[in-house]
């Protein structure tokens, strides 16, 4: 809910706003300072508290290491005493010495001398004398130079030692080998140190502060098992961050969530041994509940916040007093201005006691008053002029609206009387307009069509998905490739009959009113005529090819002298007829190929072929005509191992056609280059000539049927105009493409790109 400051200050003067601003700034600055100071102090205090726990952990760890060092050194010295290790001393004397040592330090639960074979010779209180301890780890480790064993539960002594508390007995083993004067090992002195001494060490450090700060200590072994800790924790394995950090040799503190559901501040330290005592890698953890640990921090925060709010209140009161004093001259000026507004005065008096800015403002207001009186009359006259202009513009606008409505009716009349069907479609694919010609073409009335999806009425089922994708792409990208072009499409009428149409689609409107306008022209009759024409051409071509082939063969035989020597004039006429007949045969073959391509009846035997043999075969096929024209053919094949999946004869047909065109349009003495390149899964064949190039006005229709750059009766270069169209269709059937690059007077380059294939495919 937004606070309305003005509601608390009925006068709403600048003094009130200044007071609010001063108070807000005072509170804001105080809060920021309190937060900065509190954050800094909090961070420091938290660090000190955590450091204190880490120091407690370090002290406990150090005291454990020092205590173990004393026992370690004491056992080592016992192993060097002659009254224990000498063979001359009796077993009873040795037992008395051991019992005395146990009485001196009652945490020695058991002390014994073991011979080299692991048999206990003598022990305190005669416990385990005669027992075989050769398999005990402390015995074997002592012989191998390892003198300290980690905490473990009693095995042999569990039933021999008193246990009033009925708790598992746990020991730390310290053992040293002893030797005779010659240095030969005589046995092992072993001591089981009761683990209870560790609890007393921990209590000696923690008890002074445990009750006051509610801290707990844990001693953790190298494998993370709790050796000593609060009730219920002993024997559990810990995997907290503090344990891992301590294991890496660190000393510090961390805040952690423990498995009991509480969050603790944990100080940690790992024992490193002391003097000659190597240490057992124990980790000491000192933990304290975060709520208890950070209670001093919260007290500091409350103190800082309380003092900060008191300062903010004080500064707010001082700001209010200062704001009232600052705004008094402005309030006086406002009162005088209101008197002028009520016509009680014609001028604002200038107060000499006011600020310099207020005096300047008073003078400016007086100048403005005189100017306003002058302009008041000017405004009245201007108002009359504006009213006349508004009246005139209103009449003009009404005329423009009437003209616009007339134009709209005219356009609608033109659309309704058009011979072609007109359909308007919005960007959601729904029909927005529908003329009478559309009703005649599709059988749907305008009332039935408008508002329904276009695809339901006029689009065949098999094309609906592609139209939906095109509409979606336009709404996402704003681009559609079918705009402003004449396209041939198939539509369906109300009876379900499909009609071929020629459609032109445009984009009209602006902003949110964009829509597609489509004019559709029925081309059923034209398609029927084209089908009849194609059938006629196909029939005529088939009927002509057989006799033309026979005529060409006969004329060829006559030209070659099979009928005997002919007169020169006759031989010349037969030669002309033979050349013309060959051209007619080529024309018929090209027409038949076009007919097969358009009807989809051209067959392809697709197999993997190395491209170089195909190139060589095509070059050999045109080498004779190139020699007659004085043109040299050059092959550049960087990709000699290139393989394409192709029909052998059709690919030769394409290459021969491109080479023949290049030879035909190259001047005598020129070179036609055929180049083969392979790159990124594509194989490109380029035919390069040095002829006159392709005229700019012919380039757009070069691949059309019967297209000729020179279509006059006097053209010098022959041809049917079907070759490039056939080449393009064949290459596209191979999954490739044909393109060209040409500049007038600098020749042309025709490029065939095909997908590379595997010879083993």
- The residue behind tokens 């491109």 is 658
User: How far apart are alpha carbons 518 and 506 in whole angstroms?
Assistant: 6
Three-class DSSP category at 720: coil
Nearest residue to 619 (alpha-carbon basis) of 557, 714, 687: 687
CB-CB contact of 459 with 409 (8 Å): no
Q: Between residues 354 and 737, which one has the greater pLDDT?
A: 737
User: Predicted confidence band at 174 (pLDDT cuts at 50, 70, 90)?
Assistant: confident
Angle CA(324)–CA(326)–CA(328) in degrees, nearest 5? 65
CB count within 10 Å of CB 112 equals 25
| pLDDT (average), residues 56-73 | 80
* Sheet of strand 215-220, all strands in order from the earlier edge strand to the far edge: 226-228, 215-220, 283-289, 263-270, 251-257
- Strand bridging mode 515-522 / 498-508: antiparallel
User: How far apart are alpha carbons 54 and 62 in whole angstroms?
Assistant: 12
CB count within 10 Å of CB 172 equals 25
User: How far apart are alpha carbons 693 and 714 in whole angstroms?
Assistant: 19
The overall average pLDDT reported for the chain is 76
pLDDT reported for residue 378? 78
Those residues whose C-beta lies under 8 Å from the C-beta of residue 511, and which sit 6 or more positions away, are none
User: How far apart are alpha carbons 629 and 660 in whole angstroms?
Assistant: 11
User: Predicted confidence band at 716 (pLDDT cuts at 50, 70, 90)?
Assistant: very low
Three-class DSSP category at 397: helix
CB-CB contact of 297 with 45 (8 Å): yes
User: How far apart are alpha carbons 145 and 475 in whole angstroms?
Assistant: 84
The residues pairing with 153 across neighbouring beta strands, listed in sequence order, are 170
In percent, how much of the chain has pLDDT > 90?
Answer: 1
The 3-state secondary structure of 561-612, one letter per residue: CCCCCCCHHHHHHHHHHHHHHHHHHHHHHHHHHHHHHHHCCCCCCEEEEEHH
With residue 319 as reference, give the H or E element that holds it: helix 295-341
Nearest residue to 49 (alpha-carbon basis) of 256, 350, 252: 252
Nearest residue to 270 (alpha-carbon basis) of 57, 82, 470: 57
Residue 123 has pLDDT above 60, yes or no: yes
Residue 718 has pLDDT above 70, yes or no: no
| pLDDT (average), residues 392-408 | 77
pLDDT reported for residue 5? 44
Those residues whose C-beta lies under 8 Å from the C-beta of residue 545, and which sit 6 or more positions away, are 585, 588, 589, 592
With residue 377 as reference, give the H or E element that holds it: helix 356-417
The tokens of 36 are what? 């900065």
pLDDT reported for residue 8? 43
Q: What is the pLDDT of residues 127-142, one digit of tens each?
A: 888 888 888 888 888 8
How many angstroms separate the Cα of 468 from the Cα of each of 24, 471, 567, 754? 60, 5, 74, 32
User: How far apart are alpha carbons 671 and 64 in whole angstroms?
Assistant: 100
The tokens of 228 are what? 């000593």
Residue 744 has pLDDT above 60, yes or no: yes
Q: Between residues 700 and 381, which one has the greater pLDDT?
A: 381
| pLDDT (average), residues 259-266 | 82
Which residue stretches of 79-106 are H helix?
A: 82-85, 91-104
User: How deeply is 82 buried, as exposed, middle or buried, from its count of CB atoms within 10 A (0-12, 13-18, 19+)?
Assistant: exposed
Residue 540 has pLDDT above 80, yes or no: no
The tokens of 130 are what? 């005669």
| pLDDT (average), residues 153-179 | 70
Q: What are phi and psi of 503, to 5 degrees?
A: -120, 140
Residue 698 has pLDDT above 80, yes or no: no
Q: What is the pLDDT of residues 548-560, one digit of tens each?
A: 666 766 666 776 6
User: How far apart are alpha carbons 506 and 424 in whole angstroms?
Assistant: 10
How many angstroms separate the Cα of 17 from the Cα of each of 9, 12, 309, 327, 357? 9, 7, 21, 10, 19
pLDDT reported for residue 142? 82
Residue 417 has pLDDT above 70, yes or no: no
Residue 161 has pLDDT above 80, yes or no: no
| pLDDT (average), residues 513-537 | 76
pLDDT reported for residue 100? 84
Those residues whose C-beta lies under 8 Å from the C-beta of residue 202, and which sit 6 or more positions away, are 60, 64, 217, 219, 228
CB-CB contact of 277 with 68 (8 Å): yes
- The residue behind tokens 């007077």 is 745
Q: Between residues 510 and 276, which one has the greater pLDDT?
A: 276
For 369-394, b where at least 16 C-beta lie within 10 A, e where not — what string?
beeeeeeeeeeeeeeeeeeeeeeeee
User: How far apart are alpha carbons 201 and 207 in whole angstroms?
Assistant: 10
CA contacts within 13 A on the Cβ side of 442:
28
Three-class DSSP category at 471: helix
pLDDT reported for residue 38? 62
DSSP label of 453: B
pLDDT reported for residue 229? 73
User: How deeply is 120 buried, as exposed, middle or buried, from its count of CB atoms within 10 A (0-12, 13-18, 19+)?
Assistant: buried
Q: Between residues 578 and 104, which one has the greater pLDDT?
A: 104
DSSP label of 259: T
Q: What is the pLDDT of residues 308-319, one digit of tens each?
A: 777 777 777 777
Residue 376 has pLDDT above 50, yes or no: yes
User: How far apart are alpha carbons 51 and 53 in whole angstroms?
Assistant: 5
User: How far apart are alpha carbons 723 and 337 in whole angstroms?
Assistant: 96
pLDDT reported for residue 712? 43
Nearest residue to 147 (alpha-carbon basis) of 122, 128, 167, 175: 175
- Strand bridging mode 120-123 / 108-114: antiparallel
DSSP label of 458: T
- The residue behind tokens 């009959």 is 497
CB count within 10 Å of CB 505 equals 19
Three-class DSSP category at 761: coil
CB-CB contact of 701 with 707 (8 Å): yes
- The residue behind tokens 């084209």 is 530
Q: How many residues does the chain have?
A: 761
The 3-state secondary structure of 223-257, one letter per residue: CCEEEECCCCCCCCECCCHHHHHHHCCCEEEEEEE
Least confident segment among 17-21, 394-398, 589-593: 589-593
- Strand bridging mode 671-679 / 632-637: parallel
Residue 3 has pLDDT above 60, yes or no: no
User: How far apart are alpha carbons 280 and 757 in whole angstroms?
Assistant: 71
- The residue behind tokens 């007339």 is 406
In percent, how much of the chain has pLDDT > 70?
Answer: 74
Residue 211 has pLDDT above 60, yes or no: no
Q: What is the pLDDT of residues 497-509, one digit of tens each?
A: 888 888 888 887 7
Residue 708 has pLDDT above 70, yes or no: no
Nearest residue to 200 (alpha-carbon basis) of 60, 53, 54, 73: 60
Q: Between residues 699 and 74, which one has the greater pLDDT?
A: 74
CB count within 10 Å of CB 184 equals 8
Nearest residue to 137 (alpha-carbon basis) of 148, 125, 122: 148
């Amino acid at each position: 809910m937004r606070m309305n400051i003005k509601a608390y200050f009925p006068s709403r003067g600048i003094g009130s706003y200044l007071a609010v601003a001063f108070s807000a700034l005072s509170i804001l600055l105080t809060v920021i300072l309190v937060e900065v100071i509190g954050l800094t102090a909090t961070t420091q205090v938290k660090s000190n508290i955590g450091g204190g726990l880490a120091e407690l952990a370090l002290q406990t760890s150090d005291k454990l290491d020092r205590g173990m060092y004393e026992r370690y050194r004491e056992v080592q010295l016992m192993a060097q005493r002659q009254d224990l290790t000498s063979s001359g001393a009796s077993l009873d004397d040795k037992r008395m010495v051991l019992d005395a040592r146990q009485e001196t330090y009652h945490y020695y639960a058991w002390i014994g001398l073991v011979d080299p074979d692991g048999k206990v010779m003598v022990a305190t209180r005669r416990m385990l004398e005669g027992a075989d301890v050769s398999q005990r780890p402390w015995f074997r480790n002592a012989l191998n130079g390892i003198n300290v064993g980690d905490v473990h539960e009693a095995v042999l002594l569990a039933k021999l030692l008193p246990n009033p508390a009925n708790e598992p007995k746990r020991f730390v083993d310290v053992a040293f080998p002893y030797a005779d004067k010659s240095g030969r090992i005589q046995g092992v002195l072993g001591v089981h140190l009761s683990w209870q001494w560790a609890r007393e060490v921990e209590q000696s450090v923690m008890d002074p502060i445990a009750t006051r700060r509610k801290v707990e200590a844990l001693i953790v072994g190298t494998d993370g098992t709790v050796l000593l800790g609060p009730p219920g924790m002993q024997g559990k394995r810990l995997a907290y961050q503090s344990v891992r950090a301590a294991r890496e040799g660190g000393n510090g503190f961390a805040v952690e969530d423990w498995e009991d559901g509480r969050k603790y501040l944990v100080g940690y330290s790992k024992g490193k041994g002391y003097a000659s005592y190597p240490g057992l890698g124990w980790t000491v953890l000192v933990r304290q509940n975060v709520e208890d640990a950070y209670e001093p921090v919260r007290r500091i925060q409350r103190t800082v916040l309380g003092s900060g709010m008191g300062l903010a209140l004080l500064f707010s009161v001082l700001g209010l007093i200062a704001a009232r004093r600052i705004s008094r001259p402005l309030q006086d000026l406002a009162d005088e201005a209101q008197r002028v507004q009520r016509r009680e005065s014609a001028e604002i008096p200038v107060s000499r006691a006011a600020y310099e800015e207020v005096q300047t403002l008073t003078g400016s207001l007086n100048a403005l008053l005189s100017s306003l009186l002058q302009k008041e009359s000017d405004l009245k006259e201007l108002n009359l002029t504006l009213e006349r202009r508004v009246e005139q513009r209103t009449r003009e606008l009404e005329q423009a609206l009437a003209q616009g409505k007339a134009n709209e009716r005219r356009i609608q009349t033109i659309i309704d009387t058009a011979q072609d069907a007109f359909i308007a479609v919005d960007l959601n694919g729904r029909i927005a307009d529908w003329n009478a010609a559309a009703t005649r073409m599709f059988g749907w009335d305008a009332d039935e069509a408008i508002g329904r999806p276009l695809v339901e009425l006029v689009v065949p089922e098999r094309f609906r998905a592609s139209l939906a994708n095109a509409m979606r792409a336009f709404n996402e990208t704003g681009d559609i490739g079918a705009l402003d072009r004449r396209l041939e499409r198939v539509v369906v009428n109300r009876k379900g009959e499909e009609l071929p149409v020629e459609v032109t689609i445009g984009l009209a409107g602006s902003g949110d009113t964009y829509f597609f306008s489509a004019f559709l022209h029925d081309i059923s009759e034209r398609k029927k005529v084209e089908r009849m024409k194609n059938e006629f051409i196909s029939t005529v071509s088939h009927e002509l090819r057989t006799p033309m082939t026979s005529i060409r063969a006969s004329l060829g035989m006559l030209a070659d002298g099979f009928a005997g020597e002919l007169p020169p004039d006759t031989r010349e006429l037969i030669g002309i007829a033979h050349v013309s007949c060959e051209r007619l045969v080529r024309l018929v073959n090209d027409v038949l190929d076009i007919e097969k391509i358009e009807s989809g009846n051209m067959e392809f035997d697709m197999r993997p072929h190395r491209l170089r043999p195909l190139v060589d075969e095509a070059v050999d096929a045109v080498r004779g005509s190139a020699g007659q024209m004085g043109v040299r053919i050059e092959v550049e094949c960087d990709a000699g191992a290139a393989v394409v999946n192709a029909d052998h004869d059709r690919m030769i047909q394409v290459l021969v056609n491109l080479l023949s065109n290049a030879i035909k349009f190259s001047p005598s003495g020129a070179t036609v280059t055929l180049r083969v390149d392979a790159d990124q899964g594509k194989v490109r064949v380029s035919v390069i000539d040095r002829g006159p190039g392709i005229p700019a006005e012919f380039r757009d229709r070069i691949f059309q049927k019967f297209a000729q750059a020179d279509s006059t009766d006097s053209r010098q270069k022959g041809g049917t105009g079907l070759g490039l169209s056939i080449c393009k269709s064949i290459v596209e059937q191979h999954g490739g493409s044909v393109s060209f690059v040409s500049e007038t007077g600098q020749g042309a380059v025709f490029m065939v790109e095909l997908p590379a294939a595997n010879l083993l495919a």
